[in-house]
Amino acid sequence: MDEQLNICVIGEASEALTAAANDLGVGLKETPNHRTCLVVINAHDTVSPSIPHTVLIVGASEQPSTDLVVREDSPTAWRQVIQLATRHHQLQAALVSTRDRLGVLTEQHRQLMQIGIMLSAEKNLHKLLDKVLYEGRRLANCEGASLFLVERDGEQSYLRFVVSQNANTTINHENKRFPLSTDSIAGYSALTGEAVKINDVYQIPKEAPYRFNAQYDKETGYRTRDMVAIPMHNHRDEIIGVLQLLNSTNQD
């Protein structure tokens, strides 16, 4: 169960405030903490807490340097104020969570780009391939990963399916290659330089330039759900392949 939100009251809480807080399931405390959505002080109280919370001054005759003034000490007025403060607290918490999540995703993307640089610099290519997939799966928390390398043959370009890993099934399509085009998800990522994220590969919009090849799922009985294709760059920022991740194990 989530910890209860609370109101920090400097001094004594009025009957109206207490009734409104009880009605909304919000606790009253004497000191603030991370679950404090509101700080209430009396206009005649000299205490001015320096804390990052919404502060309400009750009964002030003039507009003070604070967020809000409450002049009506009634349960109805306090319920409205508490509801607004609760919503504000929830939005602030959601903002912090989103910033943290974006920070994690940015760091994961940076590390994946570093894998591409490692790939181009490693002389023993086959020794590095398993590490590339392992790190990709670890960072993305997913069941499977495949690595495609771009090959040039005269004027024709190809994608070679060189190696793959999957926690739940065996893949035997290594070293197959096919013409590089935007028809495939990996090909689109390699040609455009864009990362592609698909929540359901069987529900790709008709207007999308790429399609999911369900042949492997049909042959093995495996069910691919979501997929991410990330272009891999070398130290000269040239696209040399695509890392494809599938079936995230995250629950959110």
- Kindly list the domain boundaries of the chain, sorted by start residue: 6-90, 122-248
**Least confident window among 2-6, 112-116, 206-210:** 112-116
Q: 146 pairs with which residues across the strands?
A: 164, 244
Helix (H, G, I), strand (E, B) or coil at 251: coil
From the list 137, 134, 132, 141, the residue with the least C-alpha distance to 114 is 132
**Percent of the chain with pLDDT strictly greater than 70:** 69
CB atoms within 10 A of CB 163: 21
The more confidently predicted of residues 118 and 228 is 228
Per the structure block, which two tokens stand in for 10? Answer: 């400097």
pLDDT number for residue 36: 79
Overall fold of domain 122-248: Beta-Lactamase (3.30.450)
The more confidently predicted of residues 97 and 86 is 86
The more confidently predicted of residues 53 and 219 is 219
Average pLDDT over residues 40-44: 61
pLDDT number for residue 71: 60
DSSP 8-state symbol, 85: H
Average pLDDT over residues 87-100: 71
Distance from C-alpha of 97 to C-alpha of 102, rounded to nearest angstrom: 9
Chain mean position to CA 230: 17
Residue 121 in this model has a pLDDT that exceeds 70: no
Q: How confident is the model at residue 112 (pLDDT cuts 50, 70, 90)?
A: low
Residue 114 in this model has a pLDDT that exceeds 60: yes
What mean pLDDT value characterizes the chain? 77
Average pLDDT over residues 81-92: 78
CB atoms within 10 A of CB 142: 22
DSSP 8-state symbol, 184: B
Residue 11 in this model has a pLDDT that exceeds 90: no
pLDDT number for residue 135: 75
Q: How confident is the model at residue 173 (pLDDT cuts 50, 70, 90)?
A: low
Contact 236, 191 (CB under 8 A): no
Q: How far is CA 49 from CA 7, 33, 55, 66, in A?
A: 14, 13, 9, 11
Contact 141, 250 (CB under 8 A): yes
pLDDT number for residue 70: 59
| The pairing of beta strand 156-166 with beta strand 142-153 | antiparallel
Calculate the dihedral angle through the C-alpha atoms of 111, 195, 101, 222, rounding to the nearest 10 degrees: -90
**Least confident window among 131-135, 184-188, 233-237:** 131-135
Average pLDDT over residues 50-74: 49
Residue 64 in this model has a pLDDT that exceeds 60: no
The more confidently predicted of residues 82 and 115 is 82
pLDDT number for residue 252: 52
Q: What does pTM read for this prediction?
A: 0.51
pLDDT number for residue 98: 66
Average pLDDT over residues 144-162: 88
Per the structure block, which two tokens stand in for 58? Answer: 């009750």
Amino acid letter, 220? T
Q: Which H or E run includes 40?
A: strand 36-42
Residue 144 in this model has a pLDDT that exceeds 50: yes
